[in-house]
Amino acid sequence: MKSIGTTLLKFLLALSFAVTLSVQAQAACQGRFANPVTDVCWECLFPLTVGHNLSLTGSTFADVKTDADALCACRGEADVTFGTNLGFWEPIRTVEIVREPFCFPSLGGVTISANDFAPAHGRTPSPKKRGHRTSFYQVHWYHTPWLYLLELLIDTHCIEQSAWDLAYMTELDPLWDDSRASFLLNPDVALFSNPIAIGACSLDCVAASTSLPLNDLYWCAGCAGSLFPLTGWVNAHITDEQAFSLLIQRFTLKLHREGLLWRQWGKDGQCGPQLEFLMSKNVYRTQMLYPSRATQGQCCRPFGATTAIDALGGQTPPVVGEDAVYLLWRRRDCCQGMNLSDAAQSSGVGS
């Protein structure tokens, strides 16, 4: 009887905790779990290319032309792989942008209480003099290698084979809330804090909205504003979609600067990941997963593309739509072929 009473008590405590967590999630945090079959716009995978940018499939999305070698040879730890370049767009990460610390829309809207470890800053009202408001968001970074988990492509080593994981939370990053401390990651901000550099971002906005962003204007986030400083503060919050676009780009650049996100495209990346501290903007696409699900039409946008149509379309409704989840796609070049040991086995040599 004592054992049954103990078990019942544990069950009631667990049920009470679950109900409390559920109520807290409904009150402060909204979200849903992503379904990789129905929520992912798989058209963003295309075009598939082989060799030197020879397209095998059509696509309505602009594709970057890389300098990857058509025929390639990659040296491994104990062998050499000979083959041809395979190019495609791969969904690699899920990015959450949230107002309240430790709110996780991708986990169904769960909130973890951390005793104000990372306080929320919220937003300022729209001042009459400035004509816009400021805001602050936290960002969460998930490893979501959907291609590998679903095995949608051929059996190839080119697909990222990492496990699903919550890899980064800005609530634990002291630089994300401090523009002065973030100078350690972006000392070049001093070069672009002037009207001429800021005005040049209009060119990046046009380029990103019509084709692909301009890598030469690396301090620009296209129509979203300036990439610097690398913090969660949005100095000019025009629309929610614009703020989300800006913070995704900033955080991606931040991880490049920290050596946590590497180059896997072009000649330098087709044999394996390489460090790239100065991010190539044109190899990234974003797709909204929450609060709206973008799976048709122009479901993928280059970094810096205009978000005006999204704002008019009501993709971020009040209250529920003030937090967002995006899927990040990256262009991938990979030497697809056969290594010498596999070739010997298939030909019967050494058997």
Contact 85, 333 (CB under 8 A): yes
Residue 268 has pLDDT above 60, yes or no: yes
In whole angstroms, give the CA distance from residue 126 to residue 133: 4
* Bigger pLDDT: 112 vs 304: 304
Question: Could you tell me which residues come within 8 angstroms of residue 191 by beta carbon, excluding any fewer than 6 positions away?
Answer: 197, 219
The domains of the chain are located at 1-30, 93-153+163-329
Q: pLDDT tens for residues 84-111?
A: 999 999 999 999 999 999 999 999 999 9
Percent of the chain with pLDDT over 70: 79
Average pLDDT over residues 194-210: 95
Confidence of residue 155 (pLDDT cuts 50, 70, 90): low
pLDDT of residue 120: 67
Confidence of residue 63 (pLDDT cuts 50, 70, 90): very high
In whole angstroms, give the CA distance from residue 259 to residue 104: 25
Question: Could you tell me which residues come within 8 angstroms of residue 149 by beta carbon, excluding any fewer than 6 positions away?
Answer: 36, 164
pLDDT of residue 153: 57
pLDDT of residue 314: 63
pLDDT of residue 1: 42
* Bigger pLDDT: 319 vs 109: 109
Average pLDDT over residues 38-63: 91
pLDDT of residue 313: 65
In whole angstroms, give the CA distance from residue 252 to residue 284: 9
Residue 301 has pLDDT above 90, yes or no: yes
Lowest mean pLDDT among 30-39, 89-98, 190-199, 306-315: 306-315
pTM listed for this prediction: 0.85
